Copies of this chain bind each other. A is one copy, B any other.
Amino acid sequence: MLLTEQPLAKKWKNMWIRTITTLLMVGTFFAILASGHLFVILMVIAIQTLVYSEVIEIAQVPAREKNMRWYRTMSWYFLVAATYFLYGESIIYYFQEILLVDAFLLPFATHHRFISFTLYVIGFVFFVVNLQKGLYKRQLAQFGWMHMALLLIVFQCHFIVDNVLEGLIWLVLPASLVICNDIFAYVCGFFWGRTQLIQLSPKKTVEGFVGAWICTLVFGFLWASFLMRFDYMVCPVKNLSTSAWSAVSCEPKNPVFTAVPWELSQNWSSLLSKITGRHVTEVWIAPIQLHALVMACFASLIAPFGGFFASGVKRAFKIKDFGQSIPGHGGWTDRMDCQFLMGLFSYMYYQSFIKTHTASVGSVLATIVNNLSLGDQLELLERILTYFVNQGILDSSVLKNKQNKCLNNDFSLK
């Protein structure tokens, strides 16, 4: 059933409700954003829990029918265990300088994975002990379902927390892109939607899909250049009590936030000069704005498959929405289905292509001097020189020179 076939009055009323709740949600989001990193992280955990409970609840109905023991208890147990493991990893990574000097917290930090593994094994043994004759297949299917929910929700979600700790912009930018894409897919589909996009989601149209992509590209480019002006957005978190009213700064900033001049070709230059009425030979663009374009493409072209997957789940269990928590939108899962995949993408993209240099020369040198044997130190020197030669930074004669010296020294050591 395409949108155009709905009665017009209902269509408008629907849009009205949806607009109000969208605005309310966006407002709440920005309020939480301004309250500080801690509240943002708590929000992410809360949303993750709501989505997980909706997804587990879907499989709970047949579980209750069959009088299956402990299914809900076990699902919550594994949620707690997985959350403990994953968020613990993030906290240990980002706050080790605090944790490792605290006598009470130290064993939790150094044995974190063993504790998490023990929690998992307890749940696993409990599951096996509670296998009931005649229900094996169903219980195993639900165990599999729970694992998939843990992977696709809790595991993906914890990367969003890592994004927050790297700087709020890595949450806000991708989340905004998805929201923008959702809104414009709805708006473009509402006005021009004609051709059905995919059987799974009958309300999605090709016109909405393409229109939203174009709008998201433009929005991402502009929104990134706006967000990057705020240190509160850009700086990695040093202290969880920071809020929008704290004085935050981090120098030197990641160079992606610094606009650099791009020289224009003849044609573009004359075109832009005509439009603006001034002589334009270069434009200033920050790398983050180009990264935002890549993210916008993912938000428009790939992230919706998270939504299609959720639609498949709804169809499989013959439900319309995952819940009724958000008027006009359905449940939390209906609204967040694309956000998780987007968050994971942002994490991977950021870690792979954007993150810079967190170690200092001093700390690395201290490690080399204190924790490596003399033989290892000399081997490291070889490797560094080889690396520089391969990168074309040093001439290969240096390496040869070096090797001879080392050989001499090796002999003198013996």
Q: Which residue of B lies closest to A113 (CB)?
A: B348
A114-B349, A305-B128 known; A372+B384 contact, CB < 8 A:
no
Judged by a CB distance under 8 angstroms, whether A383 is at the interface is yes
Do B364 and A380 touch (CB < 8 A)?
yes
Do A361 and B383 touch (CB < 8 A)?
yes
Q: Which of B101, B113, B308 lies in contact with A352, CB distance below 8 A?
A: B113
Give A356 to B370 CA distance when docked, in angstroms: 8
Judged by a CB distance under 8 angstroms, whether A110 is at the interface is yes
Q: Most B CB atoms within 10 A — which of A127, A373, A379, A401? A: A373
Q: Which residues of A288-302 have CB atoms within 8 Å of chain B's CB atoms?
A: 302
Oligomer: number of copies:
2
Do A316 and B137 touch (CB < 8 A)?
yes
Residues of B within 8 A of A344 (CB): 117
Judged by a CB distance under 8 angstroms, whether A42 is at the interface is no
Judged by a CB distance under 8 angstroms, whether A409 is at the interface is yes
Q: Which residues of A64-123 have CB atoms within 8 Å of chain B's CB atoms?
A: 97, 100-103, 110-111, 113-114, 117, 121
Q: Which of B133, B141, B315, B384 lies in contact with A136, CB distance below 8 A?
A: B315
Which secondary structure dominates chain A's binding surface?
helix
Q: 1/0 per position for A301-321, CB-CB distance to B under 8 A?
A: 010010011001101110000
Give A386 to B199 CA distance when docked, in angstroms: 62
Residues of B within 8 A of A387 (CB): 100-101, 365, 369
Judged by a CB distance under 8 angstroms, whether A148 is at the interface is yes
Judged by a CB distance under 8 angstroms, whether A353 is at the interface is yes
Residues of B within 8 A of A332 (CB): none
Do B97 and A383 touch (CB < 8 A)?
yes
Give A361 to B382 CA distance when docked, in angstroms: 11
Residues of B within 8 A of A136 (CB): 312-313, 315-316
Q: Which residues of A146-179 have CB atoms within 8 Å of chain B's CB atoms?
A: 147-148, 151
Q: Which of B100, B352, B360 lies in contact with A110, CB distance below 8 A?
A: B352
Residues of B within 8 A of A125 (CB): 302, 305
Do B374 and A140 touch (CB < 8 A)?
no
Do A317 and B137 touch (CB < 8 A)?
yes
Judged by a CB distance under 8 angstroms, whether A393 is at the interface is yes
Do A365 and B384 touch (CB < 8 A)?
yes
Q: Which of B111, B302, B371, B374 lies in contact with A393, CB distance below 8 A?
A: B374
Kindly list the 8 A-B residue pairs having the minimum CB-CB distance in the complex, ordered from nearest.
A136-B316, A114-B352, A359-B371, A144-B144, A137-B316, A144-B148, A117-B348, A101-B386
Known: A114-B348, A151-B151, A381-B384; 18 extra A-B contacts, CB below 8 A, are: A100-B383, A124-B305, A127-B309, A133-B199, A140-B312, A143-B148, A147-B151, A359-B372, A364-B364, A365-B380, A367-B367, A368-B384, A369-B387, A374-B393, A377-B388, A378-B393, A381-B388, A401-B401
Q: Name 26 A/B residue pairs within 8 A (Cβ), A-sorted.
A: A101-B383, A102-B390, A111-B353, A114-B348, A121-B302, A128-B200, A128-B309, A128-B312, A133-B199, A140-B312, A140-B316, A141-B144, A144-B144, A144-B145, A147-B147, A147-B148, A357-B373, A359-B372, A361-B376, A364-B367, A364-B372, A364-B380, A368-B384, A374-B393, A381-B384, A393-B409
